[in-house]
């Protein structure tokens, strides 16, 4: 149900009514499914149903006087449930979001800082671009960096900012490097030449920033010869698969989980160590709801000896967002000031209820978010958060 890109290329709020999306708005039956399914709908003065109603009547400007869209975490829940298949998250809310930030009297400082950092340093954390590939020095296997060895390569691994700089993201990177090497994949990374993809939601806040990052990354890609891109970040996957394609990106990008599943027959005999844990899996909004990868992560977990998979109440298309998308990573302080429950706090309660002792994830935002929520709730002795690649790597060790 991903929107046809040609249908929205160049569309703005002024021209939306002449586009196929604008015509779809008129089919809204005001059922309220979108607002009812929105994890933050109760905190929005204008939840999605009301925004569509205002759009129908050309009155959407009213939304810009509120912070409603600041509370949208790009979780795709409304869009995937709409009986009229209106592209809420992908198109309409994005357009409204961009105007919201332009018209906000004060942008929340954390978000402002993340946007500025992306401009200045190529990552939202404000880390030095020269340190982006430092984690490679701690890798258990050699990693080829294209600027040092620019020969053609089969797979370009787009590492992304959180994995490159965050200590827990680096744990996942080391695991991925080991798995790719064991699978004899011909891979390389961009190293310090890489800059943030821009994160699907973050891109929508600032079109100038979006264009700068898209131009930069597409120019870097064009320097090297490779057949496909992989990434462990579902937000980067989403950005390349959706936003970048609007700017002419034609590459093929795959998330690391489906990529590893392509090699499952070769991988399985290497998974010798029984882990002896009960695990529950959190569906990432971008990987699951928007890109349809629900079963591949589960199949990979089931291939690990001694792991018992148990489901949370909300799973697959009904997953509960961790709250990190759409700029949410940089809005926790703002949400707290609005007395809003952190979505990661809501989610870990469901995870604990399963009785599992491992919460398995596939997104670099989720590890720090869920680890913090478990700590705050006092559950950090009961449950640990692991990227699926870490679990695969553990099962490979003898
Ligand atoms: S779910 Fe779709 S049809 Fe129902 S109110 Fe929302 S936009 Fe309209
Ligand atoms: S994308 Fe998610 S957070 Fe945003 S309006 Fe839709 S349901 Fe709410």
pLDDT band at 104 (very low <50, low <70, confident <90, very high): confident
Cα 46 to Cα 40: distance, rounded to the nearest angstrom: 11
| 3 state DSSP class of 334 | helix
Checking if the pLDDT of 139 tops 80, the result is yes
Q: Is the pLDDT of residue 1 over 80?
A: no
Q: Which domains are seen in the chain, by residue range?
A: 5-103 (1.10.1060), 109-262 (3.40.50), 264-396 (3.40.50)
Tens-digit pLDDT profile for residues 208-238: 888 899 999 999 999 999 999 999 999 999 9
Report CA(368)–ligand 1 centroid distance (Å).
Answer: 33
Q: Is 48 in the pocket of ligand 2 (CB under 6 A)?
A: yes
Tell me which residues have their CB closer than 6 angstroms to ligand 1. 28-34, 48-49, 52, 82-84, 86
pLDDT score, position 176: 98
Mean pLDDT of the chain, nearest integer: 93
Percent of the chain, pLDDT > 90? 79
**Is the alpha carbon torsion for 161, 156, 173, 139 positive or negative?**
negative
Q: What is the pLDDT of residues 319-342, one digit of tens each?
A: 999 999 989 999 999 999 999 999
pTM of this structure: 0.95
Which residues, including other chains, have CB under 8 Å from residue 376's CB and lie 6 or more apart?
345
Ligand 2 lined by 72 (C-beta under 6 Å): yes
**Confidence band of 23 (pLDDT split at 50, 70, 90):** confident
For residue 29, the ligand 1 atom closest to its alpha carbon is 3
What pLDDT is recorded for position 10? Answer: 61
CA-wise closest residue to 321 among 243, 278, 373:
373
Q: Cα dist. 361→64, 143, 212, 325, 386 in Å?
A: 35, 24, 30, 15, 6
């Amino acid at each position: 149900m991903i929107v046809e890109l040609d249908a929205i290329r160049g569309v703005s709020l002024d021209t939306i009514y002449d586009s196929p999306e604008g015509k779809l708005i008129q089919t809204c039956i005001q059922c309220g499914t979108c607002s009812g399914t929105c994890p933050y709908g109760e905190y929005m003065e204008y939840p999605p149903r009301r925004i569509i109603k205002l759009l129908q009547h050309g009155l959407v400007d009213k939304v810009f006087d509120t912070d409603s869209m600041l509370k949208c975490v790009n979780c795709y829940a409304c869009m995937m449930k709409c009986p009229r298949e209106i592209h809420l998250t992908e198109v309409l809310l994005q357009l409204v979001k961009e105007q919201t930030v332009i018209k906000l009297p004060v942008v929340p400082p954390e978000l402002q800082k993340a946007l500025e950092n992306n401009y200045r340093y190529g990552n939202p954390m404000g880390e030095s671009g020269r340190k982006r590939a430092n984690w490679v020095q701690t890798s258990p296997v050699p990693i080829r960096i294209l600027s040092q060895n620019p020969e053609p390569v089969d797979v370009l691994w787009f590492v992304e900012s959180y994995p490159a700089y965050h200590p827990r993201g680096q744990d996942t990177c080391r695991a991925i490097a080991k798995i790719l090497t064991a699978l004899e994949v011909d891979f390389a990374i961009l190293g310090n030449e890489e800059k943030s993809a821009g994160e699907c939601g973050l891109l929508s806040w600032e079109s100038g920033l979006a264009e700068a990052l898209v131009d930069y990354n597409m120019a870097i890609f064009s320097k090297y010869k490779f057949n496909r891109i992989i990434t462990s970040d579902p937000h980067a996957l989403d950005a390349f698969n959706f936003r970048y394609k609007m700017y002419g990106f034609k590459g093929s990008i795959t998330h690391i989980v489906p990529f590893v599943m392509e090699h499952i027959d070769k991988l399985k005999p290497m998974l010798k160590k029984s882990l002896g844990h009960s695990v529950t899996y959190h569906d990432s909004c971008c990987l699951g709801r928007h890109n349809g990868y629900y079963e591949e992560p589960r199949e990979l977990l089931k291939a690990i000896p001694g792991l018992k998979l148990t489901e949370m109440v909300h799973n697959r298309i009904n997953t509960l967002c961790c709250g990190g998308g759409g700029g949410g990573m940089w809005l926790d302080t703002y949400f707290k000031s609005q007395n809003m429950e952190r979505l990661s706090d809501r989610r870990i309660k469901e995870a604990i209820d399963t009785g599992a002792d491992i919460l398995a994830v596939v997104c670099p935002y989720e590890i720090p978010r869920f680890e913090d929520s478990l700590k705050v709730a006092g559950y950090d002795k009961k449950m640990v958060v692991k990227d699926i690649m870490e679990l695969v790597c553990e099962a490979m060790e003898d």
